[in-house]
Amino acid sequence: MKKLFWSKKLSLVAVLAIVSLLSACGNDEDTATEEEKSAWDEIQEDGSLTVATSGTLFPTSYRSEGSDELTGFEVEVVREIGERLELEIEFTELGFDEMLTSVQTGQVDLAANDIEITEDREEKFIFSTPFKYSYGTAIVRSGDLSGIETLEDLEGKKAAGASTSVYMQMAREYGAEEVVYDNATNETYLRDVAIGRTDVILNDYYLQTLALAAFPELEITIHPDLKYSPSEVGVVMNKDNTELADNVNRVIEEMLEDGTIAEISAEFFNGADVTQKVNIEE
């Protein structure tokens, strides 16, 4: 009788040991599964993409007068990307410098705000397939062109813009004094040139043209002789998020092929198709 009791006890211990072992294996598998989840897996589980944009850059990212609805060329391109990837889009409005930091630290999934593709940035981020091509121009006072004839004349002039933009980098290279704003509106930038607080704004041709058209009362103009730096624009993603980049590129290429981005461009750039490459003489 005693022998039977110990036999049963030993059998119970063996069963418990096996159950414990299987449970541990199960936990290890669960942990491994969690560890193997990519950023793209998490985005799909969450069902949304977080996107940094300024909300103040007409016509890329802004609010129409009297409306709280965010819109603009890249805002609508991103919304279409989200629809094709079956993901909700959650916009976070940030200043230009904050956008790139937020992508780098993983606080947002991507940034969309007329961000040019450069070699330096490509070392730190993944850019999507380009969907906007343009070149640089300069807004100056219409009366005297702010005393600027060539890029060399930027030396000593006050140039306004974001400190990390490619245009401000160029201004510094030519000896301009930078005047930095904290996510200011286009009107602030333009009015300061008109009243002489600053002298010049270096920026993208299409953005400059539309900005001027929005404020015809200001005595400013696009410099007739300054055309430089052909540019390409795409959305920006974290260097490690390659699966997101693959999927974003897939749908952007579909949108370029079927003309969707060209249609969005026409809506926000007075009929112009910014998806077409441009050639200029440096």
Asked if 132 and 230 touch (Cβ cutoff 8 Å), the reply is no
> Which pLDDT value is given to residue 35?
59
Position 65 scores a pLDDT of 81
CATH tag for 133-230 (out of 3.40.50.2000, 3.30.70.1230, 3.40.190.10, 3.30.1490.20): 3.40.190.10
CATH superfamily, domain at 40-131+234-268? Periplasmic binding protein-like II (3.40.190.10)
- Per-residue confidence at 2, pLDDT binned at 50, 70, 90? very low
Same fold, 40-131+234-268 and 133-230: yes
Mean pLDDT of 139-150: 97
Of 29-33, 83-87, 143-147, 231-235, least confident by mean pLDDT is 29-33
pLDDT in tens, 189-225: 999 999 999 999 999 999 899 889 989 999 999 999 9
**How confident is the model at residue 76, as a pLDDT?**
98
Per-residue pLDDT, 27: 54
Structure tokens at 164: 């990390």
Average pLDDT of the chain is 88
How does pLDDT run across 12-39, given as a tens digit for each residue? Answer: 445 444 445 445 555 554 544 455 788 8
Q: What pTM does this model have?
A: 0.75
Domain boundaries, the chain: 40-131+234-268, 133-230
| Contact between residue 137 and residue 203 where contact means Cβ atoms under 8 Å apart | yes
Cβ contact 212:139 at 8 Å: yes
pLDDT at position 18: 45
Residue 147 has pLDDT above 90, yes or no: yes
Q: With pLDDT > 90 as the criterion, what percentage of the chain qualifies?
A: 73
Q: What was the pLDDT predicted at 224? A: 95
- Output Rg (C-alpha) for the chain, integer angstroms: 27
Interatomic CA distance for residues 30 and 188, integer angstroms: 54
Q: Which of 4-18, 39-53, 123-137 has the lowest mean pLDDT?
A: 4-18
**What does the alpha-carbon distance between residue 245 and residue 236 come to, in Å, rounded to a whole number?**
9
List CB contacts of 279: < 8 A, sequence separation 6 or more: 230
pLDDT tier, 89 (very low <50, low <70, confident <90, very high otherwise): very high
- The yes-or-no verdict on residue 251 having pLDDT over 80 is yes
181 confidence band (pLDDT: 50, 70, 90): confident
Q: Which of 170, 216, 168, 173 is nearest to 194 (CA)?
A: 216
The band of 66, judged by pLDDT with boundaries at 50, 70 and 90, is: confident
